[in-house]
Structure formats: C-alpha cells, structure tokens
Structure 1
Amino acid sequence: MVLLLFVDLDAELAALRPLGGFFLLRTAGRPPRPLPALADAYGETQPEVHPDPLMLRVRKVADGIRAPEARVAASIAHQGLAARLWSVALGCAALYGTVPDLDPRLVRWDPEATAPDDLWLTEVRPGTDLAAAVLVGHLRPLGAALRARYPLAPGLLRGNAASALAGAARQLERWAAAHDRPEAAARARALTAGLLAHPDLAGAGRFLPSGGFRRRSCCLYYRVPAGGVCGDCCFPSPPRSSPRAPSG
C-alpha cells in the first residue's frame, strides 16, 4: 500500500495543467451533456445515462483501430482508460503529495471522448492511498467487467495496468526533468516502484537499465492491421505462429 501525506488540493487541480491533456482531470463547470459515472461502466451502479458505456467504448475503439476481434479492442480500451487514471492519480501524487478521492461514483466518463474531455470529477476532496484509488477502486472492477464480456486473460490485464503506470511515470519524469522539478521525479519513481510491487501488479513487468519498460504479457495490438508491437511488448516482433498472446 502506498500512503501519501495530505496537502490541500485546489478545486481545479491546476497543478496538472502543465503536464498536458492526458494528465488533466476536469473539475470546473459541467460536462457538455449528461455522462455516466465510471461506477456505471463497472456495473457497480445502475446506469442512468447509457445502458452500457463500457461496451460503447470498446465498440468505438474497435471501429477506430479496425480490430479483427472484440477482445483486441477490449484490451486496448482497458489500457487507454488505465493510462488516463494512472496519469491523473500519479500526477497529483507527484505534484501535490496526495491524490483526490477518485471514487468511481464521483468520476464522470464520456466513452466517446478523448483526453482531457473524457473524465470529470464531480467533487474534489482528499484521498490518501494511491493503490486504493486506482488499482482497487478502478482497475479491479474494470477488469472484472471486461472479463465478463470478453475472453481476456488476467495476466494481459495486469500487463496493461503495469504498462499504463510505467508510461505515465516516464512522461511525468520527462516533464520534471525539463522543468527542474527533481522532487516530483523522485516521488513519481518511488511511487511507481511501490505500485509495481503491489500484489495486483507484482511480476507484470519491470523497468530496464535503459529506462524502458518490459511487460510479461502482450496487449494484442499486434493483431490490429499493420499494428506491430508496442515498445514495452514481451515480443520482439509480431508473433506469427500462435493466435494467442501470453497472458503472463
């Protein structure tokens, strides 16, 4: 468990703005239209806006990447949402020293939008545990909801979560180096190392001496037409002999 010391969070989470759109979390004003809560997408609450926002997102991803099968789109959709949540939470942890309460009932989600207009936090209040905020509060129920619909291996989802975390950490460290914020980089590194040792992520991947990250499973992107392999893939090149990727 990664615990953080509490400091005040401003109502607009303005410290995240310099990090770029992928790290932003809308808090001011209202979404352009009624949006479901992430708790609706996970099946934790009864949707009031869209009957199945998660399936809507997977279908949108499938159309965008021309996915040859639904599980490929589901994996990419999972990694994309995981990356957004990690970026917001890790950015807050590194720059504020704490994270806001990201209860899935408080976070509104537009499954048809892209960052930074996809996530809206309806109330900014303090949280303390980064692992609980993202791993337990979001990625566990998100993974369960996706696996109830699509044949996704647990190891694949663990790899997606670890890869998304590592990507957010690398982006944050690059920003910190460019803006002379060594304390933010050090905090991001320490938090990321702790999270990768969490039981939900342990063994899913590791940082390389070069600074890159290598996961133990594949997100299936290689199955997209002309997709190739990602930079942190367990495969050095797209596999040809087996239709199934390792699950970790």
Structure 2
Amino acid sequence: MDPGTDPDLDPALARLAALGGFFALRTGLPPLPTLEEAYATRSVTDAPDPLAFRVDKVVRLLRAPEVRIGVSVAQQGLAARLWSVTLGAAVLYGQVPDLDPRLLRWDADGSAPDDLWLAEVRSLPGDATTIRQVVQHGHLEALSAALRARHLVSAGLLWGNAGSALAGAARELDRWGRASGREDVGERARELAAELLDHPDLRGTGTLEGTAFRRRSCCLYYRVPGGGVCGDCCFTRPPSRS
C-alpha cells in the first residue's frame, strides 16, 4: 500500500468529499430505489422507472431534439460518478467501497453528491481488477443493457462514454494531486485508468496519453441547442446536421 493512503475506508468515506462532488459518496439508507432496481427489465406498465425519469429530465433540461442525446448524457454522468468514486477511493485509501447495485441507492432527480447513497461500507482491494469488477461488470454492462432495451442507442456510443468518463476521472485526480502536492495521486490514477482501458469493451473507445484522451465516438452533445464538441471528442468541430 502506498504510504500516502489510509489503511481503511472510514465509515462515512469523508476523504472523498475533498476531491469534489463527483467523487463524494453519501452513506445511509434514504427511501430511494437501488441501482439494481433501476437496471431491472421493465414492461410498459411498470412504474416508476428511475432510468426513464433521468433520461426524460436530461432531455427536458438540455432541450435535446432527440431522446438518444438524453440517454447518452445521462449514462455518461452516471458512469463518471461510479468511476470517480472508485478511482478516488483507490488512490486515497488504497481500497475501494463495494458498490454492489443492491447496496447503492440512486436519486434519479438528484445531482452529485446527493444522487448516490451507499447503504453499507465494505472494503475491497483498490486494484484495477477489482475496480473493473465493481464498475464495468457490476454496473456499466447492466446500465447499457437497460438503456438499450428502452431506447435506440448504440453500444459503441455508450462504451465510448464510459471510456471518456474514466479518463475524465483520472484527469481530475491528476489535477487535484498536482494542486495538493500529492503527485502520487495522479500517478496512481493514470496507472489505473490505463489498465482499465485495456479491455475489449473499452480498448477501442479512444487513445489515452497521460491523462489526455481522444475518443473515437461522439456523445452527441453537439446536437444540443448551443452545444459544441467536447474536449475529447472525435470531431474537431460540430459536424453538419444536413
């Protein structure tokens, strides 16, 4: 374990809050659905549907002309939260919290850090293999399947969002580490991100050099009124809509 890490996760995961809202994670049992419930297959008669609520909210707030834009932005936001929590914990504690979808409650109407609540803090190893199991296999695969069952959106776009969100979390940790005199934080974040991106589902999503990421797909944000291309977009300018 790195000398700059704490040996145990504290019950409130308090140190994560210092990294910023996307890295923070509330603990407790608010009356909210779990992410396992959010990912569940639903028929048109089932209600409520947290994923549908989130997508509708994003579409409305962005005034998006297509539902798939809301799907993309909503999925990337949740992916960023999950990667950020685990990477942040790994570099600060040397361990990560178990984010089992049955333990993680989600407020589809909330924003970071009040959107996610962990019912119980269980420590897991802070290595890339564990983080992949927790985030990629534990959440992103189910999230992608649930969204694609509800909406016409490509798997490649969603995995591109996941790669972008992972690189973004590492970049923020690197920035925080430099500002805080903790160069080890950025170094470890870069190592973890590179290892996590080396997987068939993520390897082709873009290229990572240090913390600079250039993705091979587009999240569609340019199609939002007044929107442009993101910093890691495959496009250098918004493509023509003709």
Give the structure-1-normalised TM-score.
Answer: 0.88
Cα deviation digits, residues 160-197 of structure 1 (max 9, x gap): 00000111110011001111112221111110000010
Q: CA RMSD in A?
A: 2.0
Distance (whole Å) between structure 2 residues aligned to residue 180 and residue 198 of structure 1: 31
Distance (whole Å) between structure 1 residues aligned to residue 168 and residue 16 of structure 2: 16
Aligned letter for 1:89?
Answer: T
Structure 1 spans left out of the alignment, 5+ residues: 243-248
Task: Indicate conservation of the 8 Å contact 2:41/2:146, yes or no.
Answer: no
- Choose between structure 1 and 2: higher helix proportion: 2
- Matching of residue 8 in structure 1 with residue 8 in structure 2: yes
Q: Corresponding residue for 2:133?
A: 132
Q: Corresponding residue for 2:179?
A: 178
Distance (whole Å) between structure 2 residues aligned to residue 241 and residue 157 of structure 1: 21
Q: Corresponding residue for 2:220?
A: 220
Distance (whole Å) between structure 1 residues aligned to residue 25 and residue 116 of structure 2: 6
Number of equivalent positions: 231
Q: Note the C-alpha offset of 1:44.
A: 6.9
Task: Indicate conservation of the 8 Å contact 2:157/2:219, yes or no.
Answer: yes
Aligned letter for 1:104?
Answer: P
Distance (whole Å) between structure 1 residues aligned to residue 33 and residue 19 of structure 2: 26
Aligned letter for 1:200?
Answer: D
Q: Corresponding residue for 1:246?
A: none
Distance (whole Å) between structure 1 residues aligned to residue 218 and residue 78 of structure 2: 17
Distance (whole Å) between structure 2 residues aligned to residue 241 and residue 225 of structure 1: 12
Change in 2 beyond 3 A, CA 1:171/1:26: same
Cα deviation digits, residues 131-186 of structure 1 (max 9, x gap): 00100000000000001111111110111000001111100110011111122211
Alignment of structure 1 residues 148-227 onto 2, 5 Å:
148-208=149-209, 211-227=211-227
Change in 2 beyond 3 A, CA 1:23/1:171: same
Indicate which of 95, 100, 104 corresponds to 1:98.
95
Distance (whole Å) between structure 1 residues aligned to residue 209 and residue 190 of structure 2: 13
Task: Indicate conservation of the 8 Å contact 2:173/2:189, yes or no.
Answer: yes
Distance (whole Å) between structure 1 residues aligned to residue 93 and residue 200 of structure 2: 26
Change in 2 beyond 3 A, CA 1:77/1:102: same
Distance (whole Å) between structure 1 residues aligned to residue 71 and residue 29 of structure 2: 28
Distance (whole Å) between structure 1 residues aligned to residue 111 and residue 79 of structure 2: 13
Q: Corresponding residue for 1:231?
A: 231
Cα deviation digits, residues 13-40 of structure 1 (max 9, x gap): 112121011110001x543xx1000011
Consecutive aligned runs of 4 or more in structure 1 exceeding 6 Å deviation:
none
SS in 2 for 1:189: helix
Distance (whole Å) between structure 1 residues aligned to residue 241 and residue 147 of structure 2: 27
Q: Note the C-alpha offset of 1:71.
A: 0.7
SS in 2 for 1:148: helix
- Matching of residue 78 in structure 1 with residue 75 in structure 2: yes
Q: Corresponding residue for 1:147?
A: 148
Indicate which of 53, 58, 74 corresponds to 2:55.
58
Distance (whole Å) between structure 1 residues aligned to residue 228 and residue 21 of structure 2: 26
Q: Corresponding residue for 1:67?
A: 64
- Matching of residue 37 in structure 1 with residue 34 in structure 2: yes
Q: Note the C-alpha offset of 1:9.
A: 1.0
Distance (whole Å) between structure 1 residues aligned to residue 202 and residue 7 of structure 2: 27
Q: Note the C-alpha offset of 1:241.
A: 5.1
Cα deviation digits, residues 81-117 of structure 1 (max 9, x gap): 0001111011001111111110001000000000010
Distance (whole Å) between structure 2 residues aligned to residue 116 and residue 220 of structure 1: 25
